């Protein structure tokens, strides 16, 4: 292709969570590779979900806002079509069920090749069956569907997406921890554990609080920083109080940048019951943390048990406590896992590697070879 590849990336955001952090890494990296990339946000600029678009615009990426609420109405749909026509992309790249639905409907009026990235398994969205059905219907017609893990790929196959339309591209992030590579331990609190994510049941922050309480009772003084916010925060605060560990559990709340918290902790915990390809895990790898994470979803694709981390069974109530205790007591093990995890991040999950894989996928789709 003699002219630059033109790509419009479409997403409806509710805040700066996993998908948004992936896009904050991907779009600037695409631009450095010569891709003419534009972002279409399916929300209002002034809303919380508009933060992603605002941040991308600050980096010089063109951004358009077309608000879409619960349903994709005819008016917003026409605006989506008009925006896509004006951008005239070679490929439209959608993230999330609302973007897949809006662009899928838009193709009835204006057709361009579409590549969709699916970030999680349908089992993690049981309360959104209608939305998942719509996403599945349109993904079956898109030229290429990218899964962020083998688990998501298997789920898409079970949902009826043809295998020859599917590929895996694992998420990546920008390396903000270059200094860590010289000294992976840095100035860290050896007894600090950090956990990052939205405070919802699937993340199992209650299990982390129970583990800290057990460790303190066993004579292992440690602290847990929970970075994130969500509907379960009052319940989790009560739990820490009931277990007598309020002084050992810090609720940081939502932050735009988790880097300082990862850089100050020795251990990162992700005891989730379900995950796709979690960005917080990649950030912990980049930061040089020793990691304990559940053996679910795409996590085993990203990090290896007893090589880069300790992987636990989220259905075993004591597995998390035992893993945390091992890392708290064994400095050399923490350092070995931290160094290995960072090396693996640099080899497989840095943003430029991810963007190179997407450029190849765009070229294939635009050429009609998908």
Range of the domain at 101: 6-174+350-366
pLDDT of res. 184: 45
97 lies in the same domain as 194: no
- Is the domain of 151 the same as that of 229? no
In a domain, 246, yes or no: yes
Main-chain phi, psi angles of 249, to 5 degrees: -125, 120
Against a cut of 0.85, is the pTM above it?
A: yes
Q: How far is CA 257 from CA 111, 227, 253, 325, 352, in A?
A: 38, 10, 11, 28, 20
Total of domains in the chain? 2
In a domain, 286, yes or no: yes
- Give the Cα separation of 223 and 264 in Å (integer): 12
Burial of 246 (0-12, 13-18, 19+ CB in 10 A): middle
Q: Is residue 21 part of a domain?
A: yes
Residues 47 and 29 in one domain: yes
Residue 279's Cα: distance from chain center in Å?
Answer: 4
CA distances 331 to 38, 278, 307, Å, are 46, 26, 15
Task: For residue 140, tell me if it sits in a domain.
Answer: yes
Say what the pLDDT of residue 297 is: 86
User: Does residue 226 contact residue 261 with C-beta atoms inside 8 Å?
Assistant: no
Is residue 127 one of the residues assigned to a domain? yes
pLDDT at 73 (0 to 100): 81
Same domain, residue pair 233 and 280 = yes
Q: Could you tell me if 260 and 229 lie in one domain?
A: yes
Please report the pLDDT score of residue 121 as a whole number: 83
Tell whether 279 and 202 lie within a shared domain: yes
> Do residue 162 and residue 199 come from a single domain?
no
- Spatial CA neighbour of 297 closest among 278, 316, 323: 278
Helix ranges (H only) for the chain are 18-32, 51-58, 74-87, 97-106, 129-139, 150-158, 205-217, 233-242, 259-264, 279-287, 299-302, 319-329, 331-348, 351-366
Q: Enter the DSSP assignment of 228.
A: B
Query: Do 165 and 188 reside in the same domain of the chain?
Result: no
For residue 105, being part of any structural domain is answered with: yes
In a domain, 1, yes or no: no
pLDDT (0 to 100) of residue 185? 47
Residue 342 located in a structural domain: yes
Same structural domain for residues 43 and 166? Answer: yes
129 neighbors 105 (Cβ within 8 angstroms): no
Same domain, 141 and 249: no
> Which pLDDT tens digits describe the chain residue by residue (370 residues)?
578 999 999 999 888 888 999 999 999 999 999 999 999 999 999 998 899 999 999 999 999 999 998 777 888 899 999 999 999 999 999 999 999 999 999 999 898 999 999 998 876 666 677 778 889 999 999 999 999 999 899 999 999 999 999 999 999 998 887 644 444 445 789 999 999 999 999 999 999 999 999 999 999 999 999 999 999 999 999 999 999 999 999 999 998 889 899 999 999 999 999 888 899 999 999 999 999 999 998 899 999 999 999 999 999 989 999 999 999 999 999 999 999 999 999 999 999 999 999 999 999 999 986 6
* Main-chain phi, psi angles of 191, to 5 degrees: -110, 15
- Alpha carbon distance 260, 269 (integer Å): 16
Q: Are residues 155 and 195 in the same domain?
A: no
Q: CA 150 to CA 130: how far, in whole Å?
A: 24
Q: Considering only CA atoms, which of 367, 312, 359, 368 is closest in space to residue 146?
A: 359
Angle in degrees, 0-180, between the axes of helices 97-106 and 74-87, rounded to the nearest 10: 80
Q: Within this chain, do residues 341 and 217 fall inside the same structural domain, yes or no?
A: yes
Domain at 324, CATH number: 3.40.50.2000
Strand partners, 18: none
What is residue 183's predicted lDDT score, i.e. its pLDDT? 46
Decide if 254 contacts 278 (C-beta within 8 A).
Answer: no
Q: Determine the pLDDT at residue 182.
A: 41
**Phi then psi for 367, rounded to 5 degrees?**
-80, -5
């Amino acid at each position: 292709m003699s002219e630059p590849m033109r790509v419009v990336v479409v997403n409806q955001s509710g805040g700066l969570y996993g998908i948004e952090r992936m896009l904050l890494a991907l779009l600037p990296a695409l631009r450095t590779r010569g891709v003419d990339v534009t972002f279409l946000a399916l929300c209002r600029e002034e809303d919380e979900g508009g933060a992603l678009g605002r941040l991308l615009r600050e980096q010089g990426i063109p951004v358009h806002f077309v608000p879409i609420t619960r349903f994709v109405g005819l008016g917003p749909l026409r605006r989506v079509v008009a925006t896509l026509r004006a951008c005239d992309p070679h490929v439209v790249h959608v993230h999330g069920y609302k973007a897949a639905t809006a662009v899928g409907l838009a193709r009835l009026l204006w057709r361009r090749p579409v590549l969709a990235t699916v970030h999680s398994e349908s089992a993690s969205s049981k309360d959104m069956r209608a939305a998942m059905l719509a996403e599945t219907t349109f993904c079956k017609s898109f030229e290429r569907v990218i899964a962020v893990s083998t688990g998501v790929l298997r789920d898409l196959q079970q949902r009826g997406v043809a295998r020859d339309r599917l590929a895996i591209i694992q998420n990546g992030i920008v390396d903000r921890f270059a200094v860590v590579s010289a000294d992976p331990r840095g100035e860290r609190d050896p007894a600090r554990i950090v956990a990052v994510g939205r405070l919802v049941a699937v993340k199992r922050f209650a299990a982390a609080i129970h583990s800290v309480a057990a460790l303190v009772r066993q004579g292992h003084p440690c602290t847990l920083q929970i970075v994130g916010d969500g509907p379960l925060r009052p319940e989790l605060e009560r739990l820490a109080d009931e277990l007598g560990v309020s002084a050992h559990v810090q609720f940081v709340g939502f932050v735009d940048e988790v880097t300082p918290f990862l850089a100050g902790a020795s251990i990162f915990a992700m005891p989730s019951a379900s995950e796709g390809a979690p960005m917080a895990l990649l950030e912990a790898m980049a930061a040089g943390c020793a990691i304990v994470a559940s053996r679910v979803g795409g996590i085993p694709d990203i990090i290896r048990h007893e090589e880069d981390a300790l992987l636990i069974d989220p259905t075993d109530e004591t597995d998390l406590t035992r893993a945390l205790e091992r890392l708290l007591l064994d400095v050399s093990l923490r350092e070995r896992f931290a160094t290995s995890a960072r090396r693996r991040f640099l080899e497989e999950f840095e943003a430029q590697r991810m963007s190179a894989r997407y450029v190849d996928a765009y070229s294939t789709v635009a050429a009609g070879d998908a």
